Amino acid sequence: MKMKAVRPIYKDGKTLIEGEEFETSEQHGRELLTRGYATQIGESADPADIKRSKSADKKKAE
């Protein structure tokens, strides 16, 4: 999961500062999102948004 730090985060022995982009596991990424330490880059963080997007793509294809 690609993320962007909103607050300083200690990860893998180094401190990530605000605005720094990094990669992490899905579980760790969800925890950071919930706590407000990071935002997701790229795909939507909300699974419901992903489902809506996929159904909209199917309608466009038809």
pLDDT for 17? 95
For residue 53, pLDDT over 60 is answered with no
Q: With 70 as the cut, is the pLDDT of residue 56 above it?
A: no
Q: What range does the domain containing 18 cover?
A: 2-61
In sign, the C-alpha dihedral spanning 34, 49, 2, 8 is negative
> Cα dist. 26→14, 32, 62 in Å?
20, 10, 32
Domain count, the chain: 1
Identify the pLDDT of residue 42. 83
pLDDT digits (tens, 9 = 90+) for 4-49: 999 999 999 999 999 999 999 999 999 999 999 999 998 655 555 5
Task: Kindly report the pTM of this predicted structure.
Answer: 0.63
